[in-house]
């Protein structure tokens, strides 16, 4: 069971919750989770294990806005399958059955108007239908009264050994400066970047660096390639090209507990309370859930930067109340 923040803590509502990456990241930053929404049975089981007393919805298409508790921040990564570059053939984009759930999410946002929203998706959203789908997302949020900003962040720069690029979109209701304050640092490093001399050492790709015992093994890459949702049987590129090797020639894929760690989750996070006897089936469920998850440390960084923006927005709202009353 995850410890919740105090009753006075800022609140967050989670949609397309998956295994709770958004929830855990915001909770670690001092927020209190007030509701979750997830349709997948395995992911719902994991959520129930960690947040047993949480108000939880299933299919987002059946959620009434009146039933959603008031929350300062709404978070969610609507399904990426129809916009992902990993999809073979033409991409349906926001016209697809799964990624099209963005419109359902937007309808609920329109009806409830949380102060801040955070959306995550694959970089393929930026190019889907020549950029038109991303334009629709931005235009929709703008028409709902949100100042919007976005940034592509790579998990490898947030304390985990995985190269995982995702686009994060922040919307602040009636606030145009908030998204930039959340997503972009105003600080810069001092001095100038060093230049490479003619005799300088050529940089080595982090994917080619390896660590481990060269005699007994195991040996692992310095940085893992992006985790994808896949089954326990898949090989080749479905292993995301990340392998664990041994000097005698044995090769294996990352096991679920290792995948949990490079996504920023504690070991054992995706082990259900009543696991199936079929280990291969269980591993497939865990691999798929982790491949679809957000990296917790990235979300925690965003959440920590969201907190002062939220506090400023609340203060400004309080200051405006007397002025509107006098008018």
Catalytic residue numbers read 80
Cβ atoms of 300 and 25 within 8 Å: the answer is yes
HSE at residue 90, side-chain half, CA atoms within 13 A, is 5
| H helix intervals, 64-117 | 101-112
| H helix intervals, the chain | 21-28, 41-50, 101-112, 124-127, 132-143, 178-183, 256-262, 279-291, 296-326
Between CA 271 and CA 221 the distance in angstroms is 25
Angle 145-147-151 (CA atoms, 0-180°, nearest 5)?
140
Helix 101-112 with 132-143: angle, nearest 10 deg: 10
DSSP secondary structure letter of residue 236? G
Joined tokens for residue 42: 């395995």
Cα of first residue to Cα of last residue in the chain, in angstroms, is 49
């Amino acid at each position: 069971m995850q410890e919740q923040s105090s009753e006075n803590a800022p609140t967050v509502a989670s949609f397309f919750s998956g295994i709770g990456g958004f929830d855990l990241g915001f909770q670690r930053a001092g927020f209190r989770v007030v509701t979750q929404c997830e349709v997948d049975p395995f992911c719902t089981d994991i959520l129930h294990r960690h947040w047993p007393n949480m108000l939880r919805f299933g299919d987002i298409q059946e959620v009434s806005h009146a039933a959603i508790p008031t929350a300062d921040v709404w978070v969610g990564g609507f399904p990426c399958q129809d916009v992902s570059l990993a999809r073979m053939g033409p991409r349906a984009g926001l016209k697809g059955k799964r990624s099209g759930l963005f419109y359902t999410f937007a309808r609920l946002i329109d009806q409830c108007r949380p102060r801040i929203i955070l959306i995550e998706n694959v970089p393929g959203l930026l190019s889907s239908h020549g950029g038109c789908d991303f334009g629709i997302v931005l235009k929709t949020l703008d028409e709902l009264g949100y100042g919007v900003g976005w940034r592509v962040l790579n998990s490898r720069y947030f304390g985990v050994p995985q190269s995982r690029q995702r686009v994060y979109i922040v919307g602040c209701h009636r606030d145009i400066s908030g998204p930039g304050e959340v997503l972009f640092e105003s600080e810069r490093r001092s001095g100038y970047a060093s230049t490479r001399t003619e005799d300088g050492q050529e940089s080595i790709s982090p994917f080619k660096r390896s660590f481990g015992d060269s005699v007994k093994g195991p040996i692992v890459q310095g940085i893992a390639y992006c985790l994808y949702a896949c089954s326990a049987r898949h090989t080749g590129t479905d292993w995301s090209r990340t392998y664990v090797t041994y000097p005698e020639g044995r090769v294996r894929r990352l096991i679920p507990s290792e995948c949990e760690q490079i996504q920023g989750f504690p070991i054992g996070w995706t082990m259900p309370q009543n696991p199936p006897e079929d280990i291969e089936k269980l591993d497939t469920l865990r691999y798929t859930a982790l491949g679809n998850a957000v990296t917790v440390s990235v979300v925690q960084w965003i959440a920590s930067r969201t907190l002062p923006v939220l506090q400023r927005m609340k203060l400004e709202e309080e200051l405006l109340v007397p002025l509107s009353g006098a008018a």
